[in-house]
Structure 1
Amino acid sequence: MPVIAQLLTVVLFTCLSFAARGEKLRIVTEPWAPYVYEENGKSLGLDYETTAIVFKRLGIEVEWQFLPWKRCLSMLETGQADGALDIFHSDERDATLLYPSEPLSQVQFVMFYANDRPHPFSTLDELRGLTIGTSPGYLYSQDFRESTLFTREPAPSHEANFGKLVRGRIDLLITDRRVGQHLLDELNIRDKITENPAIISQQSQFLAVRRNAGMDLLVQRFGAELKRFKREPAYAELSARYGAAPPNALNSARSTATTAKTVEQQESGAQ
C-alpha cells in the first residue's frame, strides 16, 4: 500500500474510533422498555442490545447514561452527550444531528384507557372534552398538539401516566404499543387498562449523533453494520425475544394505519 494511502487510512480510523483517542462515545437514552431499559443493574432491550453489538463489531467503546428524555436532549444540545438512542427523525434536527440510513426499530402509537371509564375511538374528533396523558420532552404532531378539542396533560414518567389513568386523573394516554403492553405487565394492571386498537401512527427509531468531525463516517459505518446484522439469525432471535413483529407485518400495519394525526416524536426540549 502506498505511504499516502496508509496515512489516509490511519487518519480515517483515528477519526472514527473513539477508542483510538482514549475516549468513549457518550450515548444517552431514556428507559423505554422493551426497546431499552435497565433491570437488576443490567442494560437490556431490543435496540440497546442491537446497538451494543454493532458498536462492538466496529471496535467503538460506549459510555451509556439512562436519563429522563428532556435531560437527554439537553445533554445533546450542550455537547455533554455525543448521541442519543431511540430518537425520532425530524427535519428541524438535521442541522445538529446525523442519522444512519438504517433505523433500529419501528414503533406504533396507540392510546390506552381505563376499563371502568372506557373511551374507545377511531378519530381525534371523538376525544372532545377529554384529558390525554402525554410525556414531557416529546413532540406530537401538529393536529394533536394544537387541537382544542381535548386537554394534554404531561406526567414525569410513563409509569406515572398509567398511574394517573388508573386513578381517573386522565381519560386516556398516548404511547408506543409495545411500551404500553410492557408496562401493563410490569405494573400488574392488565386487568384495569385496555389498549385502543387504532394505530394512530408509526415512526422509525434511530441512533443519532451530533455533527462533529468524523461523525458522518461513523454514521455510515454504523448504518451499514446494522443493516448487515439485521440479516443474521442472531438478530431474528433477539427480535423474537422482545416480541418484535416481522417486517411484513410492520409493512401491513403501516399501510392500514391512520394518517399521522398524533405522531409522537421524541424532540428537543424547546418545544
Structure 2
Amino acid sequence: MSAIIRLFWILLLACLSPLALAERLRLVSDDWAPYVYQQKGQPRGIDYEVTTQVFKRLGVEVEWQFLPWKRCLAMIEQGLADGIVDIFQIDARRPFLIYPSEPMSDVEFVLFQARSRRHAVTGLNDLAGLSVGTSPGYIYGSAFNDSPRFRREAAPTHEANFGKLMLGRIDLLITDRRVGRYLMRQLGLEQQVEELPLLISRQTQYLGLTRKPGREALAQAFAEELQRFKQEPAYAAINNRYTGDIGNILNAVEQQESSTPR
C-alpha cells in the first residue's frame, strides 16, 4: 500500500487525538517467550520487535512493562496502561479494549510431559485423575478450563511449571507449542521432556488498546501497517531469529490451514 495511505492514517490519528503521536504508549505483557519477554532487563521477542517496529513506522513511541498476566489484565481493565500485547479476543474485554483487526500471532496450546513418566493421552478424558500445570489468568479453552476430571495447578512462571514437571509435582503442563519448545531448549530439557500430539486449543493473539479517544483510529492504523510489515522479509527474519525451524514449520502449517475453510 502506498505511502500516501500511511500518511492518511497518521494525519487521522493527529486529528482525532492530539496526544496520540506525542504521548508515549505504556504497553504491558508478561514473560511469554519467544513472543515477548525480558532478557537481562531488556525486552525481546517476536511480537515485541514486530509491535515496536509497527509503532515506530506510525510515529508512536512505546514504553514496555512486564508483569504477571493477571496484573496486566487488571491494569488494562482499570485504565492504568494504554495497551497489552498478545491477548485473546474475549467478549467480556470489549467494553474496555479495542483490538486491531490484524492479529499478532497464533497460539497452539499443547501438553508436555516428562519422558520418564509418560501418560497415554489422546483426549481430555485421558487426563482423569492427573494434575496439569497452568499459568494464572490464562484461557486454554472452555473444555480444558472447565473440566472436572483433572486438577489444574497454577505456577508463577512457565519456567516454574517445567521445574515442577521435572520434580514430579505435576503430571503434565500446558503451554503454547512455540513457548514450550523454546523453554525446553533454553532450560536444556529437550532430552527429558516431550510434547504430546494432542492439540488442546488454537487461539489468535492481538494487541489490545484501552478505550480512549483516538484509539480506534490508532488500532486501524496499526492493523494496516502490521499487515504490510508481514509481507516484508524483515518480518520473516524476526520469526527465524527466535524460532528457526520451529517457526518455519508452524508458519507452513498455518498457511495451509488458512486456505481450508473451518
**TM-score relative to the length of structure 1:** 0.85
- Which string of whole-angstrom CA distances, capped at 9 and with x for unpartnered residues, describes residues 192-219 of structure 1? 1111022222111111101111000000
Moved more, 191-200 or 174-183: 191-200
Shift of 1:141: 2.0
- Which string of whole-angstrom CA distances, capped at 9 and with x for unpartnered residues, describes residues 91-126 of structure 1? 221121111110011111100011111113111011
| SS of alignment partner, residue 57 of structure 1 | helix
Moved more, 238-247 or 113-122: 238-247
CA distance in 2, matches of 1:65, 1:193: 31
Asked if 1 retains the 8 angstrom alpha-carbon contact of 2:46 and 2:242, the reply is: yes
Indicate yes or no: 2:217 matched with 1:213. no
CA distance in 1, matches of 2:178, 2:96: 29
Identity %: 52
Paired position in structure 1 for 2:6: none
CA distance in 1, matches of 2:172, 2:30: 22
CA distance in 2, matches of 1:159, 1:211: 33
CA distance in 2, matches of 1:166, 1:248: 32
Indicate yes or no: 2:101 matched with 1:69. no
Shift of 1:252: 3.8
Indicate yes or no: 2:211 matched with 1:204. no
| SS of alignment partner, residue 219 of structure 1 | helix
**Equivalent residue runs for 1:177-192 within 5 Å:** 177-192=177-192
Paired position in structure 2 for 1:175: 175
Aligned partner letter, 2:72: C
Paired position in structure 2 for 1:123: 123
Paired position in structure 2 for 1:50: 50
Shift of 1:10: 6.8
- Which string of whole-angstrom CA distances, capped at 9 and with x for unpartnered residues, describes residues 157-205 of structure 1? 1111111110001100100011011111222222211110222221111
CA distance in 2, matches of 1:182, 1:226: 24
Q: How many residues align?
A: 248
**Equivalent residue runs for 1:225-244 within 5 Å:** 225-243=225-243, 244=247
- In structure 2, relative to structure 1, the CA distance for the partners of 1:182 and 1:12 (3 Å cut) is closer
Aligned partner letter, 1:52: T
Aligned partner letter, 1:73: L
Aligned partner letter, 1:76: I
- In structure 2, relative to structure 1, the CA distance for the partners of 1:217 and 1:10 (3 Å cut) is closer
**Equivalent residue runs for 1:1-271 within 5 Å:** 12-13=13-14, 15-16=16-17, 18=19, 20-21=21-22, 23-243=23-243, 244-245=247-248, 247-252=251-256
- In structure 2, relative to structure 1, the CA distance for the partners of 1:10 and 1:150 (3 Å cut) is closer
Aligned partner letter, 2:179: V
Shift of 1:17: 6.2
Asked if 1 retains the 8 angstrom alpha-carbon contact of 2:110 and 2:174, the reply is: yes
CA distance in 2, matches of 1:255, 1:175: 26
CA distance in 2, matches of 1:248, 1:103: 17
Shift of 1:146: 2.0
Asked if 2 retains the 8 angstrom alpha-carbon contact of 1:135 and 1:157, the reply is: yes
| SS of alignment partner, residue 196 of structure 1 | strand
- In structure 2, relative to structure 1, the CA distance for the partners of 1:221 and 1:16 (3 Å cut) is farther
Q: Give 5+ residue unaligned stretches, structure 2.
A: 1-9
- In structure 2, relative to structure 1, the CA distance for the partners of 1:233 and 1:17 (3 Å cut) is farther
Asked if 2 retains the 8 angstrom alpha-carbon contact of 1:120 and 1:196, the reply is: no
